[in-house]
Chain A
Amino acid sequence: MTVLTNTPDRHRLTLAQYWICLCGIVWREALRFIHQRERFISALVRPLVWLFIFAAGFRQVLGVSIIPPYETYVLYEVYIAPGLIAMIQLFNGMQSSLTMVYDRETGGMRTLLVSPFPRWWLLTSKLLAGTMVSILQVYAFLLIAWFWDVEVPPVGYFLVIPALLLSGFMLGALGMLISSLIKQLENFAGVMNFVIFPMFFASSALYPLWRVKESSPFLYYVCQANPFTHVTELIRFALYGKVEWGSLAVVAGCAVVFLCGAIIAYDPSRGFLARRGGPSGG
């Protein structure tokens, strides 16, 4: 039998081991995603309803002028597609982050957190894994949208990947930060009402900001300050092979700030059980 007291000192983790850890977390998230088909379908239904019903209904009402990155008039469905992609990532980020926060005393997060890797690496890997899943959802959406005449230049389907990685990561970190800090957000309905809907509607996802400015300058500035606007624009320009540098800077900066805040705020000892007086078991 192996004498464990003679096992080598394994606590100095190498870069290769960090990589193995990251790959393992992403792989597990992908497996979970494959086994939860209903989650996949429900994640697709939401943006498709917007695309098939809302956009069709408002096509005539909300005309869109020629604005970058578009070089000609586009259908309203084409205009809102980037916003709907961002919406997929927003929902996915919020949902997975909320699970991470409220699972920290029980379930899989405990297993994750007793790993010898630094907590910042574990949480970053987990956020990245959630982002990968959201990208799969985005491509499924783009495929269906293609049949609905929502087409982008072929190269855009590849060039959008870095934008999706960054935006998904930023939205996931935001979700983790918010749900770690705000006690009242103890269920997804709270997040929907107070985070997702305000972020989505006060952005350029559904209408160009120059139109918002015409009706309400104040709302225009609110939309400009909303990181979701910049996520939408980053994705919109990337789909057409262009970079919106201002949005890139905002999204990257927010990703760093939200991630740092989330890592600090994500302390299992400040979770539900701690607030309710400790675990019930023993």
Chain B
Amino acid sequence: MNDAALLTQAANTAGPAALDVVGVGHRYGARVALRDVNFSVRPASFTVLLGLNGAGKSTLFSLITRLYAIRNGHIRILGHDVAREPGAALSRLGVVFQSRALDVDISVQQNLIYHAALHGIGRRQADEQIARVLTLVDLTDRRRERVNNLSGGQMRRVEIARALLHQPRLLLLDEPTVGLDIKSRADILGHVRRLLQSGIGVLWATHLIDEVGDNDDVVVLHGGRVLAKGAVGNVVTATGAPDIGSAFTKLTQADTGAGAGA
């Protein structure tokens, strides 16, 4: 067994889950956005949160990141309850939001220094971490470039670098490849998958089936409910479909049909 596999095995067997979502619900007025959502993300695992637009993915992300108050259920990051210990939970969390949140008028380095400060990381340590994360996303040569001059894919990679700067143990990405070309999508997916070797848990929200890998875990979210979860192979087998794309279609159509019939 190689080093990476040993690390992954160790991460899977020791300690709490990277993310635990237990009985979470959320409403916007009378409209139910999430209903009794339960799933976990293991350390050193790549979990795809798969759902169509309006499924509740962004709402769930807002709850995990404490942007919205958790009124029903519990969310724990590395065993720390987001509602009760937000500081401990958020210090272990890196986030890439769906809408870009970089300051485009300043340089890549200045954006990263700002983020480091938001995590209490001083300038000297920030410089070391910036060098590390820019190497991870292959952007070392763009360090002093204004963000405005970068391509969409490069901006996304800066956002990933930023999310990794404070060495989180759970990385959330909300549809990070939206609006990117095929090569940029593949690059970003590749960069994030390589992070698993360091023991980080990844939750990747998307509606694009081709971003789901054979060895990933998947959580199928539809209409605010979890329809299926587990290893991709298990979900495919359980639905009797030939692949995850067909399994997803089968699950969501059955749910829509049941909803219409109810």
Contact = CB atoms under 8 A, between A and B. Distances in A.
Given A116-B88, A277-B29, A282 B205 contact: yes
A274 B28 contact: yes
B67 A117 contact: no
A102 to B, nearest CB: 14
Contacts of B174: 281-282
Interface stretch (A20-28, A59-67, A157-165, A224-232): A20-28
Interface in A193-207: none
Interface string B111-144: 0011111111110000000000000000000000
B86 interface: yes
A276 B117 CA distance: 33
Nearest to B168: A4
B75 to A, nearest CB: 13
A1 B3 CA distance: 10
Interface stretch (A7-15, A168-176, A208-216): A7-15
Nearest to A6: B199
Contact of A7 (B51, B87, B169): B169
B252 to A, nearest CB: 13
A5 B53 contact: no
Given A3-B199, A116-B91, A281-B58, A11 B80 contact: yes
A36 interface: yes
Interface string A268-282: 110000111111111
B119 A115 contact: yes
Contacts of A153: none
A187 interface: no
Contacts, number: 163
Given A35-B105, A116-B86, A279-B58, A1 B120 contact: no
A104 B106 CA distance: 21
B201 to A, nearest CB: 10
Contact of A23 (B53, B67, B101, B117): B117
A152 to B, nearest CB: 35
Contacts of A3: 7, 198-199
A11 B87 CA distance: 6
B121 A20 contact: yes
A48 interface: no
Contacts of A113: 65-67
A7 B87 CA distance: 16
Q: Which of A25, A31, A105, A278 has the most CB of B within 10 A?
A: A278
Contact count band on B: 35 or more
A114 B120 contact: no
Given A281-B58, A282-B58, A282-B207, A25 B117 contact: yes
A269 B65 CA distance: 12
B118 A2 contact: no
Contacts of A275: 28
Nearest to B99: A106
Interface in B8-59: 10-11, 14-15, 28-29, 31, 33, 43, 51-59
Nearest to B69: A269
Given A36-B105, A268-B68, A111 B62 contact: no
B43 A11 contact: no
B62 A282 contact: no
A121 to B, nearest CB: 10
A280 B56 CA distance: 9
Given A3-B199, A32-B105, A113-B67, A11 B62 contact: no
A276 B15 CA distance: 40
B68 A274 contact: yes
Nearest to B221: A282
Q: Which of B14, B52, B99, B114 has the most CB of A within 10 A?
A: B114
B185 to A, nearest CB: 17
A115 B118 contact: yes
Contacts of A25: 114, 117-118
B117 A20 contact: yes
Contacts of A154: none
Contacts of B168: 4
Given A17-B120, A106-B99, A282-B205, A2 B167 contact: yes
A110 interface: yes
Contacts of B166: 10
Nearest to B30: A277
B103 interface: yes
B199 A111 contact: no
Nearest to B63: A269
Given A7-B169, A281-B174, A117 B118 contact: yes
A212 B116 CA distance: 52
B219 to A, nearest CB: 12
23 contacts: A3-B7, A3-B199, A4-B198, A4-B199, A5-B15, A11-B80, A11-B88, A13-B87, A20-B117, A21-B120, A27-B113, A28-B114, A105-B67, A106-B99, A112-B118, A116-B87, A118-B86, A267-B69, A268-B62, A278-B58, A282-B53, A282-B56, A282-B174
- 3 closest Cβ pairs, A-B complex: A24-B117, A17-B120, A282-B57
